[in-house]
Amino acid sequence: MTRPREDLAAATDSSAVLDSVVTCPACGFTKLEVMPTDACQFFYECTGCKTVLRPKRGDCCVFCSYGSVVCPPMQEQRGCGCR
């Protein structure tokens, strides 16, 4: 059995959710970012404090580590091409 769908209210014609709210671990700043569908973002500069975030160990991108929604490849459970 696959995992139940989470909140896909923002879904359009694609099944993947592309909006992710990134929360900076250094200052707590949050920002809504639109994720690329075909690539992972490894570096992300916080708008609030300019800290450059990197994924946590075991995560493929900053959205998986700090975003409210994991990246599209992970949503579709097809893995991430960057690993």
Q: Which residues bind Zn ion (CB under 5 A)?
A: 24, 26-27, 29, 46, 48-49, 51
Closest Cα to residue 31, out of 40, 22, 43?
Answer: 22
Q: Which is nearer to Zn ion, 48 or 81 (CB)?
A: 48
Name the minimum Å distance from CB 14 to Zn ion: 29
43-74 per-residue burial string, b: 16 or more CB within 10 A, e: under 16 = ebebeeeeeebebeeebbbbbbbbbebbbbbb
Name the minimum Å distance from CB 53 to Zn ion: 8
Name the minimum Å distance from CB 57 to Zn ion: 20
